[in-house]
Every structure is written in C-alpha cells, then in structure tokens.
Amino acid sequence: MDRRSFLKTSALGGTAAAAGTLAAPAYAQGKRTLTMVTSWPRGFAVLDDAATYLENMVNSMSDGTLTIEKKAPGELVGAFEVFDAVSSGQADMYHSADYYFIGQHPGYAYYTAVPFGATAQELTNWYHHGGGHDLHSKLGEIFNLKSFLAGNSGSQSGGWFRKEINSAADFNGLKFRMPGLGGKVLGKLGASVQNIPGGELYQALSSGALDGLEWVGPFADERAGFQEVAKVYYTAGFHEPGSGLAAGVNLDVYNDLSPAHQAILSNAAMATTHIQLAETLANNGAALKRLQAQGVKTMQFSDDVWDAFGAASKEVMDENMSDPLFAEIRESFELSLAQSSDWLLKSDGFYVEQRNRVLANG
C-alpha cells in the first residue's frame, strides 16, 4: 500500500486515523534506529532467538545504518501489549506471535497457526507464493502495520500435563494454557483456557494456577523448565503444526524507510525464518532425549482425542466466518494447503515411509 492510499484509509478507519497522528520518524545523518518490542523474555529459546537473529541481521546487512533496539516484555510495554503499542506508534515495530492478537482480528491466527493448519513449509509456501503475505498486509491496513513472517517454531508439542489424557472428557475443567484458536477448541471440550505470557508460565504451572500448558517444543520447553513440574508430555498437537513468528512495523515508520532499508527488513525476516527454524529442528530431538532422561513420559493423544479436537476445531473455524476478511484469508490458506499437502504426501510423505522401511530392513 502506498502512502497516499494509506492516508485515504486513515481518514476512514478509526484505529488507523488515530495512529496517523504519529510524528514522522526521521533519519539522523542517514541512520535510523527502530525500537522493537517483543513478547519474549531475553534468552527464551526459539522465540527470543528469532527476534535476536532479526535484530542482528538488520544491523549487519545495513552496515549499521538501520539498527534495531530490542525491548523485552516490561522494558517498554507488556508481552501482549506490543501490537497496540506499534499500531499506535508508541514503538516502531514488534516481534511476537500474531495469534496473540485474534482479539484485534481473528485473521491474525493464520500468521502463527490454526488448528489442523499448515506445517512450517506449508505456511511459507502460502505466505510467499499463495497470497498469504498480501493478506497479511491487508490486515495491517486496518491497524496501520506492515507485517512479515520472521521465524517459525516448527511443529509444536501437544503440551505438559500432570496426568495422562485418556479421553477428550479429561479436558473438562482442566486449567490449561493455550493461545489462539487452538485455545478456543479446548474451551469447547470444557477446559478452562488461559492465555499467559511465556515468561510467567513456569510460575503458573508450579503454583497450580495451571494444570497443564502448551508452550513450543522440546528445545524451548526444556529451557523454560516445565519438566521440573509436570512429567507427562504429549509430543504432537493439533493446534500449532508449524507456528510462524511475525514482525509488525508501524506503517508510517515503514513507509518512511528508504527502499533499501525496506528490502533489508523483509529479507532479514525471511532469513530469520530459515535459520531459526533450522536451529529449532536441529535441537528438538536431543532436547527430547534429555527430557526423557529427567523422567518425562512422552506420549501421543489417541485417535478418539484427535477426532474430538477435529470436530471442535471445525466449529471454531466456522464461527469466525461472518468476518469477510477472515473468510478471504481462510479460503486462500486452505486452497494453498490443499495443493501443497497433496504434493507433500506424494513426495516427502511417501519417501519418509520408504526410507524407514528400507533402512529398517538393512
């Protein structure tokens, strides 16, 4: 969206109009520093790793002419306040998971993960070659943001529990942390679903405020220390099969950047997804073995439980269809997913089966 059409939108939209009062950011001697608020405590594996990759890449790719100054939760705003802070111009950009902002618009769920949605590869296929990025920008026009995927956690674990889940009924009354539309699915199964920032989860699980939680996967979860409190770990989940992380830039700030700096931001975001996803997937297996060595029991949900997740997920997705932009994003996403998953099964899926069979036979 160019600046003129943004201004036109500002005149029409309340949120964007309010944000349009932001003082124009200035380059000082050709240099610009962007304040980036994040939802991640410093040192949090996977999440803060991605934010740090982005920060370092932008700084080095621009030869120091565009620098990012990262702020952890509490240093400027709280973990879940980053979206509104950037939309209003209080901060220049954020790094977070966009499904935290389904209260602002449910379409943001697609830019992290939706139940029974995309793997990491399928998400980037849609984002870069199936219309996903353009729809991210269309959402951003409502909130005065320019957004990019910037990180991916890969397939997330089903979560940490104190007791085994033997049927979907075991979710009834369970105090469980799960953000996004996945959390609404567990709500349909009777769970008392809470969304708590990552930095507060260990305390909530330890104190009994939560019976269980999902966070990310073995590499991140081990660093957070949940194995000290809960011992039952479901390794696959329906809710986040390949969660994207996102950078959202205030649209006024973005439009005032030079074309080269805009290109550095978007390319650093893509490179962040690649390098951080690889880091996570390279470390999850070894982390899982260390968790098991500490007495963690790893499990999978039964088919009956997966079926219950599926039925509740369909209800949740359909409930949001009255919003036309949500419906447009869903249609675009599902078309891309159908196409790429068909090929995935015929190529990688079949290959992995055959590789396991042939190598097992010696």
Residues that bind Ca ion (CB under 5 A): 156
**179 by DSSP, 3-state: which?**
coil
Distance (Å, rounded) from C-alpha 93 to C-alpha 108?
16
The least distance separating Ca ion from the CB of residue 357, rounded to whole angstroms, comes to: 33
DSSP state of 31: B
Distance (Å, rounded) from C-alpha 299 to C-alpha 340?
29
The least distance separating Ca ion from the CB of residue 56, rounded to whole angstroms, comes to: 24
Output the residue with the shortest Cβ distance to Ca ion. 156
Distance (Å, rounded) from C-alpha 102 to C-alpha 239?
15
Terminal C-alpha separation, the chain: 57
The least distance separating Ca ion from the CB of residue 114, rounded to whole angstroms, comes to: 12
With respect to Ca ion, which residue has the nearer C-beta, 6 or 234? 234
**156 by DSSP, 3-state: which?**
coil
Distance (Å, rounded) from C-alpha 245 to C-alpha 241?
13
With respect to Ca ion, which residue has the nearer C-beta, 106 or 179? 179
The least distance separating Ca ion from the CB of residue 234, rounded to whole angstroms, comes to: 13
With respect to Ca ion, which residue has the nearer C-beta, 49 or 92? 49
Distance (Å, rounded) from C-alpha 321 to C-alpha 325?
9
Q: What are phi and psi of 147, to 5 degrees?
A: -120, 150
With respect to Ca ion, which residue has the nearer C-beta, 144 or 156? 156
The least distance separating Ca ion from the CB of residue 129, rounded to whole angstroms, comes to: 25
How far is residue 65 CA from its own chain's centroid? 29
Beta-bridge partner residues of 247: 95, 148
With respect to Ca ion, which residue has the nearer C-beta, 196 or 325? 196
The least distance separating Ca ion from the CB of residue 273, rounded to whole angstroms, comes to: 16
Beta-bridge partner residues of 37: 71, 94
The least distance separating Ca ion from the CB of residue 136, rounded to whole angstroms, comes to: 20
Beta-bridge partner residues of 233: 160, 298
With respect to Ca ion, which residue has the nearer C-beta, 156 or 227? 156
Instruction: Answer yes or no: are the C-beta atoms of 66 and 29 closer than 8 Å.
Output: no
**150 by DSSP, 3-state: which?**
strand
With respect to Ca ion, which residue has the nearer C-beta, 90 or 194? 194
